[in-house]
Amino acid sequence: MNKTKPAHIAVGVIFDNQRRILVALRPKDKFQGGLWEFPGGKIESGESVEQALKRELFEEVGITVITAEPLTLCDYHYQDHHVHLDVWCVLDFEGDAYGKEGQSVRWVTLEELKKLPMLAANHPIMQAVASYLT
Protein backbone atom coordinates (compact mmCIF):
# COMPACT_ATOMS: atom_id res chain seq x y z
CA MET A 1 0.00 0.00 0.00
CA ASN A 2 1.16 3.51 -0.79
CA LYS A 3 2.44 5.26 2.35
CA THR A 4 2.02 8.80 1.08
CA LYS A 5 0.02 11.29 3.11
CA PRO A 6 -3.72 10.93 2.50
CA ALA A 7 -5.46 13.52 0.36
CA HIS A 8 -7.60 15.68 2.69
CA ILE A 9 -10.95 16.19 0.99
CA ALA A 10 -13.84 18.50 1.96
CA VAL A 11 -17.14 16.85 1.00
CA GLY A 12 -20.56 18.46 0.95
CA VAL A 13 -23.81 16.60 1.55
CA ILE A 14 -26.11 19.28 0.20
CA PHE A 15 -29.78 19.21 1.19
CA ASP A 16 -32.58 21.11 -0.52
CA ASN A 17 -35.76 22.23 1.23
CA GLN A 18 -37.36 18.84 0.45
CA ARG A 19 -34.49 17.00 2.19
CA ARG A 20 -33.23 15.68 -1.12
CA ILE A 21 -29.48 15.28 -1.56
CA LEU A 22 -27.32 16.57 -4.41
CA VAL A 23 -25.05 14.06 -6.14
CA ALA A 24 -22.72 14.49 -9.11
CA LEU A 25 -21.61 12.02 -11.76
CA ARG A 26 -17.84 11.63 -12.06
CA PRO A 27 -16.56 12.22 -15.60
CA LYS A 28 -15.69 9.01 -17.48
CA ASP A 29 -12.03 10.09 -17.87
CA LYS A 30 -11.45 10.45 -14.10
CA PHE A 31 -10.67 7.84 -11.46
CA GLN A 32 -13.83 5.76 -10.93
CA GLY A 33 -15.53 7.71 -13.69
CA GLY A 34 -19.19 7.01 -14.29
CA LEU A 35 -19.97 6.66 -10.58
CA TRP A 36 -21.95 9.12 -8.47
CA GLU A 37 -20.39 11.09 -5.62
CA PHE A 38 -21.02 13.86 -3.16
CA PRO A 39 -19.41 17.10 -4.43
CA GLY A 40 -16.20 18.39 -2.91
CA GLY A 41 -12.47 18.43 -3.41
CA LYS A 42 -8.99 18.76 -1.98
CA ILE A 43 -8.30 21.20 0.80
CA GLU A 44 -5.55 23.59 -0.28
CA SER A 45 -2.63 24.58 1.93
CA GLY A 46 -3.69 27.27 4.40
CA GLU A 47 -7.42 26.65 3.92
CA SER A 48 -9.78 25.58 6.68
CA VAL A 49 -12.13 22.72 5.87
CA GLU A 50 -15.06 25.13 5.76
CA GLN A 51 -13.21 27.49 3.38
CA ALA A 52 -12.35 24.58 1.09
CA LEU A 53 -15.92 23.30 1.20
CA LYS A 54 -17.29 26.69 0.19
CA ARG A 55 -14.71 27.10 -2.60
CA GLU A 56 -15.13 23.59 -3.98
CA LEU A 57 -18.92 23.68 -3.98
CA PHE A 58 -18.94 27.03 -5.74
CA GLU A 59 -16.42 25.78 -8.33
CA GLU A 60 -18.14 22.43 -8.91
CA VAL A 61 -21.86 23.07 -8.56
CA GLY A 62 -22.23 26.85 -8.47
CA ILE A 63 -23.69 27.30 -5.01
CA THR A 64 -22.71 29.67 -2.22
CA VAL A 65 -22.78 27.89 1.12
CA ILE A 66 -24.61 29.82 3.85
CA THR A 67 -24.91 27.22 6.63
CA ALA A 68 -22.94 23.99 7.00
CA GLU A 69 -22.12 21.71 9.89
CA PRO A 70 -19.75 18.76 10.29
CA LEU A 71 -21.33 15.35 9.67
CA THR A 72 -18.55 12.76 9.80
CA LEU A 73 -14.91 11.98 9.12
CA CYS A 74 -13.88 8.89 7.23
CA ASP A 75 -10.78 7.41 5.70
CA TYR A 76 -10.77 5.26 2.63
CA HIS A 77 -7.89 3.28 1.19
CA TYR A 78 -7.92 2.66 -2.53
CA GLN A 79 -5.28 0.35 -3.97
CA ASP A 80 -2.93 3.20 -4.90
CA HIS A 81 -3.99 6.12 -2.69
CA HIS A 82 -5.69 7.10 0.54
CA VAL A 83 -8.29 9.81 1.16
CA HIS A 84 -9.34 11.48 4.40
CA LEU A 85 -12.89 12.78 3.92
CA ASP A 86 -14.12 15.67 6.05
CA VAL A 87 -17.86 15.56 5.41
CA TRP A 88 -20.22 18.45 6.09
CA CYS A 89 -23.99 18.83 5.77
CA VAL A 90 -24.90 21.91 3.76
CA LEU A 91 -28.21 23.06 5.16
CA ASP A 92 -28.58 26.44 3.49
CA PHE A 93 -27.13 27.82 0.29
CA GLU A 94 -27.74 30.37 -2.45
CA GLY A 95 -27.89 29.63 -6.15
CA ASP A 96 -29.20 26.80 -8.30
CA ALA A 97 -26.91 23.79 -8.28
CA TYR A 98 -25.66 22.66 -11.69
CA GLY A 99 -22.62 20.88 -13.07
CA LYS A 100 -20.22 23.81 -13.63
CA GLU A 101 -17.56 21.40 -14.93
CA GLY A 102 -19.99 19.76 -17.38
CA GLN A 103 -20.86 16.88 -15.05
CA SER A 104 -24.39 15.64 -14.51
CA VAL A 105 -25.93 16.45 -11.14
CA ARG A 106 -29.23 15.40 -9.64
CA TRP A 107 -31.29 15.77 -6.50
CA VAL A 108 -32.20 12.41 -4.99
CA THR A 109 -34.11 11.08 -2.00
CA LEU A 110 -32.34 8.85 0.50
CA GLU A 111 -34.02 5.81 -1.08
CA GLU A 112 -32.85 6.84 -4.56
CA LEU A 113 -29.36 7.52 -3.20
CA LYS A 114 -29.12 3.97 -1.85
CA LYS A 115 -29.70 2.58 -5.38
CA LEU A 116 -27.10 4.70 -7.22
CA PRO A 117 -23.69 3.30 -8.17
CA MET A 118 -21.56 5.44 -5.85
CA LEU A 119 -17.85 6.12 -5.55
CA ALA A 120 -16.48 3.53 -3.12
CA ALA A 121 -15.21 6.13 -0.63
CA ASN A 122 -18.73 7.59 -0.43
CA HIS A 123 -20.37 4.46 1.00
CA PRO A 124 -19.59 5.37 4.65
CA ILE A 125 -20.98 8.84 3.95
CA MET A 126 -24.24 7.31 2.73
CA GLN A 127 -24.55 5.50 6.07
CA ALA A 128 -23.94 8.76 7.96
CA VAL A 129 -26.56 10.53 5.83
CA ALA A 130 -29.10 7.79 6.53
CA SER A 131 -28.46 8.14 10.28
CA TYR A 132 -28.66 11.93 10.05
CA LEU A 133 -32.05 11.80 8.29
CA THR A 134 -33.65 9.27 10.66
Averages of pLDDT over runs of 10 residues in the chain (134 residues) are 77 96 90 90 96 98 98 91 94 96 95 94 93 91
Q: Is 116 helix (H, G, I), strand (E, B) or coil?
A: coil
Contact (Cβ atoms closer than 8 angstroms) between residue 121 and residue 76 = yes
The domain limits of the chain are 7-133
Going by their DSSP bridges, the two strands 82-94 and 64-77 should be labelled as: antiparallel
pLDDT at 14: 98
**Residue 118: HSE in the Cβ half-sphere, 13 Å Cα cutoff:** 20
CATH fold label, 7-133: Nucleoside Triphosphate Pyrophosphohydrolase (3.90.79)
pLDDT score of 80: 82
Query: What does the pLDDT read at residue 2?
Result: 46
Look up residue 36 and give its amino acid. W
Q: What is the pLDDT of residue 27?
A: 83
Give the closest residue to 72 by CA, choosing from 45, 40, 95, 104: 40
